[in-house]
Amino acid sequence: MVKLTPAQRKLIEEPNLAHVATLMKDGSPQVTPVWVDCDDTHILINTAEGRQKPRNLERDPRIALSIAAQEDQQMYIQVRGRVVEITTEGAFDHISKLGRKYFGPDFVYPKRDGETRIIIRIEPEHVTGRA
């Protein structure tokens, strides 16, 4: 596991989008822009059950992300890692927190009938870039 530097953490903690690549069953890449977060050890993304990302990751936990600063796209990181946990615990609160990060303190993430949010916890194995 690779520990994120303070500059890399700052890039993740600011409201910058991540582009996440997972692998389809046939090995082809699937890329999605997502909100991103981190804790002391892992990179966190949030999605809903039934979507392509979690289906791909349940089959193959390898994942890659790129995150570029909105204000200076020359500042970026690229991460290769492995999903170590997929959980529903705290996931709605987490997506609400991310919504406030990206849209401001008054943002309320809508509850959608039948939607179950999940947190995907990523262990970074290789991090490069200019952050």
Domains of the chain are: 6-130 (2.30.110.10)
Per-residue pLDDT tens digits for 6-65? 999 999 999 999 999 999 999 999 999 999 999 989 999 999 999 999 999 999 999 999
What pLDDT band is residue 131 in, cutting at 50, 70 and 90?
A: confident
Residue type, 115: E
Question: Based on the number of CB atoms within 10 Å of its own CB, is 109 exposed (0-12), middle (13-18) or buried (19 or more)?
Answer: middle
Judge whether 115 and 48 are in contact, CB under 8 Å: yes
Per-residue pLDDT tens digits for 60-96? 999 999 999 999 989 999 999 999 999 999 999 999 9
In sequence order, which residues have a C-beta less than 8 Å from that of residue 113 and are 6 or more positions away? none
